Amino acid sequence: MLSDLLPPALVALLLDSIGQTATMVAVAAVLSTLVGLPLGVLLVVTAPGQFLERPALTRVMGTVVNLIRSTPFIILMVAIIPLTRLVAGTTVGTAAAIVPLTIAITPLYARLAEAAMREVDHSLIEAAQAMGATPLQIICKVLLPEALPGILAGQTVTLVSLVGYSAMAGTVGGGGLGDLGIRFGYQRFMPEVMIAVVIVLVVIVQSIQMAGDWAARSVNHRIARGRERA
Amino acid sequence: MTRLARSPTVLEAAPEGKAAPSATRDGVTERRPVVRVEDLTMVYDQKAGPVLDKVSLSVREGDIHGIIGRSGAGKSTLVRCLNQLVVPTSGRIEVSGHDIARLSGGELRRARRDIGMIFQHFSLMSSRTAADNVALPLEIAGVAKEEIRNRIPVLLDLVGLSAKADAYPVELSGGQKQRVGIARALALDPKVLLSDEATSALDPETTEQILDLLKDINRRLGLTIVLITHEMDVVRAIASHVTVLEHGKVVESGPTFDVFAFPKSPVARSFLSSIVAHDLPPQIAARLRPQSSLDTDPVLRIVFTGEAAHEPVIADLVDRFGVRASILHGRIDYIDERPLGVLSLLLPGAADRVPAVLAHLSFLGLHGEVIGHAVRSSAAGARRAAS
């Protein structure tokens, strides 16, 4: 069906682009989670009135996060080219695009995780302290499990944003679906390519959202559910 | 039911307790205090003044000690000082042999395992089932998984919730949630249980069940309980001792029976009068005035304790003073298993003989007091008509 509308060469290109987008999104998502989740935890537990209160540290982290978040992605990508070269060894290609993607998305993920953990009732932390829990135990056994539905919802938002950001990765030769759409659909006046790209992106985003909602729902025990239906 | 077996890890973690019961001067062995608070002062904000002002109290092993006060009296802060969730400005706190106020880090965490706590809003983890909530303190203490699996059914059984082991908190009623909270607080076999308004969020019937459970645990395990509340009924139901807190100060402290029978402080009186006024027939309670006047009759409250309960008091008053007494209300409470009789009498037209009546009651060893002056119903009616 696809080959009826698009020549085989373009189908191959489309499949390549899907692969590139998937690689960029997946690697950046894993890296941003590895960095963003601890950052989010630190933003919560070092805040004033919390059990590892370090107001100066919270302020520094908050400022850095806000700085990155207020820089447009396209500018950030160009601005950190020296860093990209240092980390990826090159400034063009999919691998090079992953560096700015990760740096741009980590603060967003950290903020979303922070917001989810702030929602955890302070009395639960108090209860854990009363049981003799260490700060690490409070984080691992109370804060993270209780905030998990919210953290997963944040993860979903992050992934969808990553798909959007990855479209701009063409600027540094990262390839991907956005790049394909611009180069063939726009610059070569091939509307069928543009439409195919948009359809694929819609399907990807929709799938991420549905999977994310399902995951968040399945770990959320704050809402009563009929056991027989579950 | 025997005392729950301690796990080896917890035993290792527990510092050496104080020496066993100490002999008092007259050679009688007395239960040692497990909670001792001396000159505890807490200042959050210099301008607002101290939240706790040189509070001292002592709770003996096996007691249920109620701390009652209005909101803002400092009772929440006081109970949180006992496990250092709040670090006081100054003062000494000793709980089950731990010099709590001087501990920090790992020592404080180990000491906290000897102190269970239950909360007003239960503070259960929504992501864990009832069984897993009870397991949490055991996991935190590093108890082996197999040991935890063995302990959970025992703990859930203790609070009568075996059938709900796999239910999440959202599927439990308030009373069931608090039962999970109690099982969780008992998991590490604490020496002291702190209860922070544990029944305030529950309806009266559930409150009674939870209080019965606490009393039962107190008896079966010999567990010392410190409970804070703003309800005198809670104290009446289970506390053996009570401390009345007002503006961060202890205004009265002693056995619950004595405080109920003979309250000394105005605060304790007002807490009690809320119960007493509640006991009077509504039409009398509505006509009660603090001051006597020409159109009022005195309302007398007589407290019977022990032997004097056998005296034919009313007949005696009629014979000696020629007063007619109508009984407004009478009840016998069992406070800490001792009967406390309270009789409220209306003495129509006998305002002049009240001092003599009170003197006679005191001679009989009874406690009598005028709790108010009821406006005569006809006069009240006439006044209403006039206004």
A-side interface with B, Cβ within 8 Å?
A: 121, 123-124, 126-134, 137, 141-142, 145-146, 148, 219, 221-224
For residue B186, give the chain A residue with the closest CA. Answer: A131
Tens place of pLDDT per residue across chain B (387 aa): 444 444 433 333 333 333 334 433 444 456 788 999 999 999 988 888 889 999 999 999 999 999 999 888 889 999 999 999 999 999 999 998 889 888 888 999 999 999 999 999 999 999 999 999 999 999 999 999 999 999 999 999 999 999 999 999 999 999 999 999 999 999 999 999 999 999 999 999 999 999 999 999 999 999 999 999 998 889 988 999 999 999 999 999 999 988 888 888 888 877 876 665 556 777 777 888 888 888 888 888 888 876 656 667 788 888 888 888 888 888 777 777 777 888 888 888 888 888 888 888 888 878 888 888 888 876 544 554 555
Please name the residues in contact with B149: beta carbons below 8 A apart, sequence gap of 6 or more.
Answer: none
CB-closest option in B115, B139, B170 to A222: B170
pLDDT tens digits for A147-184?
999 999 999 999 999 999 998 877 677 888 988 988 88
| Phi and psi at residue B355, to the nearest 5° | -55, -40
Give residue B70's pLDDT: 87
Task: Indicate if ipTM > 0.95.
Answer: no
List the single range of A122-126, A127-131, A157-161, A173-177 with lowest mean pLDDT: A173-177
Name the nearest CA neighbour of A116 among A104, A127, A108, A126: A108
Q: Are A132 and B168 within 8 A, CB to CB?
A: no
pLDDT score for A115:
97
CA distance B278 to chain A (A): 34
Q: Could you say which of B121, B126, B136 has the minimum Cβ distance to residue A131? A: B136
Cβ of B137 within 8 Å of Cβ of A222? The answer is no
Instruction: Among B80, B126, B129, pick the best mutation site for testing chain A contact (most A Cβ within 10 A).
Output: B126
- Other CB atoms within 10 Å distance of the CB of residue A140: 13
By Cβ distance, the residue of B110, B125, B170 closest to A124 is B125
The pTM for the full model equals 0.82
Q: How many pairs of residues across A and B have Cβ atoms under 8 Å apart?
A: 67
CB contact under 8 A, B123 and A123: yes
Q: Locate tokens 């009651």: which residue? A: B361
CA gap B281, B246 in Å, rounded: 30
pLDDT at B27: 42
**Residue B274 confidence (pLDDT):** 66
Contact between residue A126 and residue A49 where contact means Cβ atoms under 8 Å apart: no
What pairing do the DSSP bridges indicate for beta strands B64-69 and B241-246?
parallel
pLDDT at residue A92 tops 70: yes
Q: What is the pLDDT of residue B13?
A: 37
Q: Which residues contact B198 (CB under 8 A, 6 or more apart)?
A: B118, B119, B120, B178, B181, B210, B214, B227
pLDDT of residue B305: 76
Interface of B with A (CB under 8 A): 83, 85, 108-113, 115-117, 119, 121, 123, 125-128, 136-137, 139-141, 168-171, 188, 194
- By the 8 A CB rule, do B42 and B51 touch? yes
Residue B7: what pLDDT? 40
For residue A124, list chain B residues with Cβ-Cβ distance below 8 A.
123, 125
Which of B140, B148, B170, B192 should one mutate to test binding to chain A, selecting the residue with the greatest count of A CBs within 10 A?
B140
